[in-house]
Structure 1
Amino acid sequence: MLRRLFPLPPSQLGAAESWVAYGVRTPRAARRASSVVLVRDSPRGVETYLGYRPGGSPLGTVAFPGGSFEPGDEDNLAWFGPEPGAWAARMGILDHRVARSHIVCAIRELFEETGVLLAGADELSIVENCSTSEWMDVREAVAGQDKSFTSVLAKRGLGLRTDLLRPLSHWISPDFAHRRFDTRYFAAAVPVNQAATLLRGKGVWAAWKPAAEVLETRAEPTLGDEVGQPDTRGLPLSQITTPAVEFILEKIATTRGTVAYLSHRRELKSYHPELLAGDGGFLLDVTISTAAEGGATARGR
């Protein structure tokens, strides 16, 4: 059994104080969400795409692309790769519709936030050159819910290339948080002739960062200062992100390369950090055990 403790980000301090002051209460409902970890090889090691998320996102202030379910994630659309039932079995989810929505949400959010589109006309093709101004207009329309992601794909004769995603882990936000996500993390490589870019008018900061280098300076405000926002400057990694992001960065930093990372058949774990309150302040407690629903699980204790 492995126990990890993480400092509480300043943005969560008020919620933690309220939780302790008023005693144990029923946690707020956790919204289902998906997040995609983009990876690529570089001379400095395997890199991943991190972005700034304002407003105290449950995914972290600096985190991977992602977001919560939208009603359109249940719409019918062309689908290539493992069927929803196979995804459900792999992810340990009983409801095939929920598993399907996690996949659609992951690919939609990735497209909105980065322009990377895991879609093609068939099971062997992938759309190219998604960095044009026309595609940026589409991204803005989908992000603003002026157009549905499903209609965008259907108009262009595209279906989801679900085979390009790899499931990583499952994280549930701490009970005390005012905004809580039930998040499934996936990994993917950027398809040939595509590139990750900020969403026009909405994105603030994003960059490809070598996971090993981020971790080397995790105790310093290096990344937070680079992001340069009021809620990141002067803060170390643990105070601008979540334990989920740090765990995933640690795994990326030790992999031999993108192919090895994506091809690794991992046991999917579930994590549920809990709040620890002491004289020195608040900490997030993540305890990894081998309890059993759907494989190893990890939770706070």
Structure 2
Amino acid sequence: MVKPRNPSTGLLRRLFDLPPTQYDAAENWVSFGNRTPRTVRRASSVVLIRDSPKGVETYLGYRPGGSPLGSVAFPGGSLENVDDHDIPWYGPSLSEWSKRLGILDQRLVKAHIVCAIRELFEETGVLLAGTDELSVVENCDSEDWMAVREAVAGQDKTLADVLAKRGLGLRTDLLRPLSHWISPNFALRRFDTRYFAAALPVRQEPSLLRGKGVWAGWKVANEVIAQRHSTTLGDEADASDTRGLPLSKITTPAVEVILEKIAFTRGTVAYLSVRRELKSYHPELVQVDGKFYLDVTTTTAAEGGGLGRGR
């Protein structure tokens, strides 16, 4: 659903369907009046992309338990205490990253970036690291690497330990900041999430974390958007909270908006090369004709272009 665009700003007010898993929280929020929102946890998420004959693909996976990132979403998760520890680093300085993200606290800046790379590695096995500023590790799909992923995910090892043992440093220059999203106030679990984008490194291929992954795969962004009102993606994920549901009811506005922009890009290089003004979004719960929606004001779907429709 779309509200009129503000012609002076190019902004578009949009209403996104509320996932069924959030109905009870929404009803309680409205029934009991103004309440104090639950504390947000800081998080990072990585939009992994690659080119294909059908258009730019991105890697989506199923997240159980009503994740604030969405039931179907990009790799990501909340910051951990170890994410601001010393770690080998290649790429822009923390001062430069601080400017890019609009965050003055450089420890927090480091934590967001390390979290993004760590979560991507844990969930997919893709590691944005190399022995210098020009190299990227290859072939991270062996049994040994899977054991390392399990150890990092289980907090038996830190990412810093893994990198130091192998003489690697984080390739932070491979990340591009996309946007900043804060979960709606009524939600029972809330994230303050920084979204980044990265191209799939050469000779790396994502895979599910053994014992934890349920479903994930490369999806052509323009096909997902074209089929957004169908249940195709939800049925493919085949979980109780995705089956038979359209896109807006299995993910968050953040994921849907990012997918729209990927769908309109000319390719991976073009998408990563766009100079973006980092915007912050905070969806609000609204009721229209007795039905709950998430109210978000966004730019048009394409970077500098427009989709002309909402959900």
Offset, 1:279: 3.4
Match of residue 219, structure 1, among 220, 229, 237 = 229
**1:65 maps to what in 2?**
75
User: Could you say what secondary structure the match of 2:201 adopts?
Assistant: coil
Offset, 1:288: 3.8
User: Could you say what secondary structure the match of 1:277 adopts?
Assistant: strand
**Residues 86-97 of structure 1 mapped to structure 2, 5 A cutoff:** 86-97=96-107
Q: Distance in 1 between matches of 2:298 and 2:252?
A: 16
Alpha-carbon deviations, 1:184-218, whole Å to 9, x = none? 00000111111111111110000000000001110
| Amino acid in structure 2 at the alignment position of 1:221 | T
Matched, 1:195 2:212: no
Which shifted more, 107-116 or 274-283? Answer: 274-283
Matched, 1:131 2:141: yes
**1:152 maps to what in 2?**
162
Task: Spell out structure 1 runs of 4+ moving beyond 4 A.
Answer: none
Q: Distance in 1 between matches of 2:244 and 2:12?
A: 29
Offset, 1:267: 1.2
Matched, 1:28 2:15: no
Q: Distance in 2 between matches of 1:85 and 1:95?
A: 10
**1:298 maps to what in 2?**
none
**1:293 maps to what in 2?**
none
Among the aligned pairs, what percent are the same residue?
A: 73
**Residues 1-301 of structure 1 mapped to structure 2, 5 A cutoff:** 1-288=11-298
Q: Distance in 2 between matches of 1:267 and 1:170?
A: 11
Q: 1:288 to 1:227 in 2, by over 3 A?
A: closer
5+ residue gaps, structure 1: 290-301
* Number of matched pairs: 289
User: Could you say what secondary structure the match of 1:135 adopts?
Assistant: helix
Q: Distance in 2 between matches of 1:128 and 1:280?
A: 53
Relative to the length of structure 1, the TM-score reads 0.94
Which shifted more, 277-286 or 65-74? Answer: 277-286
User: Could you say what secondary structure the match of 1:37 adopts?
Assistant: strand
Q: Distance in 2 between matches of 1:139 and 1:269?
A: 32
Relative to the length of structure 2, the TM-score reads 0.91
Q: CA RMSD in A?
A: 0.9
Q: Distance in 2 between matches of 1:24 and 1:287?
A: 22
5+ residue gaps, structure 2: 1-10, 300-311
Q: Distance in 1 between matches of 2:298 and 2:237?
A: 31
Offset, 1:147: 1.1
